[in-house]
Structure 1
Amino acid sequence: MAKYDLIVIGSGAAGMMAAITAARSDKNVLLLEKLSKIGAKLKATGGGRCNLTNTLDNETFMSRFGRDGRFMTPALDALDHKALMAFFKEIGVESYAPDGYRVFPVTHSSSTIIDAMEAEMACLGVEVRCSQKVVSLLHDEEHIRGIETETDTFHADNVVIATGGKGYPVLGAEGDGYALAESVGHKVTEVYPAMMPLKTKEKWVANCTADTIAKVVMTVDMKKYKKLKAQGDLIFTKSGIRGPVVLDFSREITPLLSKYDEVPILMNLTKGMNEEQIRSHFKKELAKDPHRNTLALLTTLLPESVSRELCTLAGADPELGFGKQNGQSRDNLIKLLAWTPLTVNGHDGFKMAMITRGGVSLKEIDPGTMQSRKMAGVYFCGEVMNLDGPCGGYNLQWSFASGYLAGKLKA
């Protein structure tokens, strides 16, 4: 049986980058993928458009990951967004930031990325085997020696675990790497589905599905968690809410839902306007047309469908002039426009989760090499670790950068 310098488990962004990096240093590399094709989850990234990274400086980028973000420092020093764009240009993929922030391949197709990385691996002599599920790691007390799949045994003194999390199991993410990590002494934190739509107790949202509301601010309405906040575009659904702000905020909500049956949230639907600013806006609008009814006044800020529902919640007659509403109804409307309450009470689990929150403990991984502190020769990269970021190219950049560092095979 041939012995390899490196075996990479998983063919996502992190795994392919690790394989390419090692092969460029003349390492004999085997890449194993349990599905019949490589890059399945990468292909679905960003609705297939593949938001590779973003143009933020490294310090700001890391801050968006929270308190553990600085763990990424060595990886980003080795491969930041500029270096990543240069890498793809080198293998034939041009990328750009059409909005000055999010970086995409100019084709806006994830297939372009996968095809280019696959071609580079072939050029470098990386052996790729699909339909190979790794079931165990071979090791002595101190060092990795290889892996076993359901049908074969492969030997190597270095193994990269790039199996991803548990989100979108139909694309191969079933948490296989967690069991492998635990088998060599690693702690795996509790994992939660993240970056996904949320369900709400309130049914009125089903009447507002036609419009996207821009720049919504969302907070948790629980004393202990009031600092949790997200901002972005919101879309109402038949059973709840989705859109970029929800995808980001779900990272905070799903762990709370494991503790509480319901999580009350507040949404500012008026681009950050407070009660005083809303009153001032209405005063100016009524000065233009004093006979405008309440619904027409609200639609200067929000879509008609949402305006009607807020009138109902406030006990206001949408057809009546704003000044003719009773004082309580007017106050209720102003308060609702500043902060609209909703109650999140569920989600669809890992089957709809774009990423996983939680994973292999960062304390047990050397950030300078991505090597295990528990077992020599074992490396981790990408989503299998306990580090996740918001929408906007964060998680892919982290996958590529950590894969690059792991592929260096530094002792």
Structure 2
Amino acid sequence: MKKVLIIGGGASGLMAAIAAAEQGAKVTLLEKNKQTGKKLLVTGNGRCNFTNKDQKLEHYRSEAPEFVREALSQFSMGDTVRFFEKLGIRVKDRNGYLYPASGQAASIAEVLRLEALRQGVKLACNTEVLEVHKKDGQFQVVTEGWTYEGDALILACGSKAAPETGTVGDGYRFAESFGHSVVTPLPALTGLCASEKDCGKLTGVRTDAKATLITEPGHAVYEEEGEIQFAAYGLSGIPVFQLSRYAARALEHGGSCQVTLDLCPEHTAEELEEILKDKAEFIGERSGTDVLLGMFPEKLSDVILKRAGISMKKKSREWKEADWNHLIGQIKKFTFHITRCRSYEQAQVCTGGVPLAELKNCSMESAKVPGLYLCGELLDVDGACGGYNLQWAWTSGYLAGNAAGSEE
């Protein structure tokens, strides 16, 4: 019977264990935490958006998009849904975002654990891996109390994001020990820190906007629309999370980064000016904040006016054409200069990891070491918000486990 060792009991590791066991392999999964699926428990604010009906390739960020496309065709979103339904998960569809009907991430983590046990997988929790080797055709996984041996080894160790769940980046070290390279891991799906001194005044404010990331030499890299959340450190919210990985890469190479917010994307600058001038004419001798009343939260209106150089005491009928131009300019391009992404502790995933070019094919087998497989966040693939990182975990984990467990 083929022996398969798996390091990491997260989403991809559990899926790999089940897939390998289904092939008839004897599977041992090593997990440093006291339980498997720890990171799964906090996914989607504890509700676990485990995949998404919209499977456009653009939602998966990688230097090898065709590899990702081929992998997803071999274990798709539909396969994922059928897999979990078979395990007893009833699926709830929220505008294409798929969740367990229980609304609890624990449901996903627990059915995976139970299925792994049913398939005969040995779950060795509280087991930290210190070293990995390959000697005389056998993989050796060294822990404090034992050295495990296997015919195949799957690295499903996760990234450096959310280290409180145990994912501290050990997998990068293990992969490098087998001759793999690692694209520098950086925080992704996280907030962005800005240098503007008025960030503190906006703390807690939320508003809908279109966010555009601009990097040197001044071209727009990414746009996303949705609810922006302002924080003392800068910007947060799903649109900001979506563009954070691009900001991280630009800043890594010493480039400058700006995020401009169009606070009124549904109107052109000309339309907006007409609307606001009509409103100013209607309300008469009132302050500038009254012109913006009903459009933005009060704290945001105050900062917009200050950035536009318009005194709060100045009546709207006293505004010159330059005042109007500055006001409209601020609303359409409310700019923040980004200094860094928030840390790994606040990041949901990482951008970076082992390049897909170093895998043999969609079996997820290493092109450098026969019998070695890599999956999940350890690879240089990061998804957008919306269940895409978990879909990559299910896909890559299943394909790795299926191939590793096969006797062929």
Cα distance in 2, alignment partners of residues 239 and 288 from structure 1: 38
Q: Is the alpha carbon distance of 1:367 and 1:333 closer, same or farther for their aligned partners in structure 2, counting shifts above 3 Å?
A: farther
Cα distance in 1, alignment partners of residues 60 and 2 from structure 2: 37
Alignment-derived partner of residue 166 in structure 2? 172
Determine which structure has the larger strand proportion and give its number. Answer: 2
Aligned partners of 1:203 and 1:239 also within 8 Å: no
- Three-state SS of the structure 1 residue aligned to 2:193 is strand
**Residues 163-198 of structure 1: per-residue CA shift (max 9 Å, x gap):** 010011121111111111111111111111111122
Q: Does 1:87 find its partner at 2:83?
A: yes
Q: Does 1:229 find its partner at 2:223?
A: yes
Cα distance in 2, alignment partners of residues 327 and 228 from structure 1: 32
How far apart are 1:238 and its partner, in Å?
1.7
Aligned partners of 1:196 and 1:352 also within 8 Å: yes
Question: Which of 187, 190, 194 matches 1:196?
Answer: 190
- Three-state SS of the structure 2 residue aligned to 1:341 is strand
Question: Which of 100, 108, 113 matches 2:108?
Answer: 113
Alignment-derived partner of residue 346 in structure 2? 352
How far apart are 1:366 and its partner, in Å?
2.9
Cα distance in 1, alignment partners of residues 325 and 284 from structure 2: 19
Aligned partners of 1:72 and 1:367 also within 8 Å: no
- Identify the range of structure 1 (60-69 vs 370-379) with the bigger mean alpha-carbon deviation: 60-69
- Number of residue pairs matched by the alignment: 405
**Residues 205-226 of structure 1: per-residue CA shift (max 9 Å, x gap):** 2222333212432221532552
- Identify the range of structure 1 (26-35 vs 246-255) with the bigger mean alpha-carbon deviation: 246-255
Alignment-derived partner of residue 392 in structure 1? 386
Q: Is the alpha carbon distance of 1:155 and 1:257 closer, same or farther for their aligned partners in structure 2, counting shifts above 3 Å?
A: same
Aligned partners of 2:351 and 2:381 also within 8 Å: yes
**Residues 25-56 of structure 1: per-residue CA shift (max 9 Å, x gap):** 22211111011211111111111111101111
Aligned partners of 2:215 and 2:250 also within 8 Å: no
How far apart are 1:249 and its partner, in Å?
1.6
- Three-state SS of the structure 1 residue aligned to 2:45 is helix
- Identify the range of structure 1 (198-207 vs 144-153) with the bigger mean alpha-carbon deviation: 144-153
Alignment of 1:54-133 (within 5 A): 54-57=52-55, 60-62=56-58, 64-65=60-61, 67-98=63-94, 100-133=95-128
**AA matched with 2:267:** M
Cα distance in 2, alignment partners of residues 157 and 126 from structure 1: 15
Alignment of 1:12-411 (within 5 A): 12-57=10-55, 60-62=56-58, 64-65=60-61, 67-98=63-94, 100-140=95-135, 143-223=137-217, 225-260=219-254, 263-271=257-265, 273-286=267-280, 289-290=283-284, 293-409=287-403
How far apart are 1:321 and its partner, in Å?
4.1
How far apart are 1:273 and its partner, in Å?
3.4
- Identify the range of structure 1 (285-294 vs 194-203) with the bigger mean alpha-carbon deviation: 285-294
How far apart are 1:4 and its partner, in Å?
5.5
TM-score (norm 2): 0.93
How far apart are 1:11 and its partner, in Å?
0.6
TM-score (norm 1): 0.92
Alignment-derived partner of residue 9 in structure 2? 11
Q: Is the alpha carbon distance of 1:80 and 1:288 closer, same or farther for their aligned partners in structure 2, counting shifts above 3 Å?
A: farther
Cα distance in 1, alignment partners of residues 295 and 162 from structure 2: 37
Cα distance in 2, alignment partners of residues 347 and 363 from structure 1: 27
Cα distance in 2, alignment partners of residues 213 and 341 from structure 1: 15
How far apart are 1:72 and its partner, in Å?
1.6
Q: Gaps spanning 5+ residues in structure 2: where?
A: none
- Identify the range of structure 1 (5-14 vs 263-272) with the bigger mean alpha-carbon deviation: 263-272
Aligned partners of 2:132 and 2:141 also within 8 Å: yes
Aligned partners of 2:6 and 2:29 also within 8 Å: yes
- Identify the range of structure 1 (339-348 vs 64-73) with the bigger mean alpha-carbon deviation: 64-73
**AA matched with 1:190:** T
Q: Is the alpha carbon distance of 1:402 and 1:62 closer, same or farther for their aligned partners in structure 2, counting shifts above 3 Å?
A: farther
How far apart are 1:83 and its partner, in Å?
1.7
**AA matched with 1:41:** K
How far apart are 1:277 and its partner, in Å?
2.7
Q: Identity across aligned pairs (percent)?
A: 28
- Three-state SS of the structure 2 residue aligned to 1:97 is strand
- Identify the range of structure 1 (339-348 vs 87-96) with the bigger mean alpha-carbon deviation: 339-348
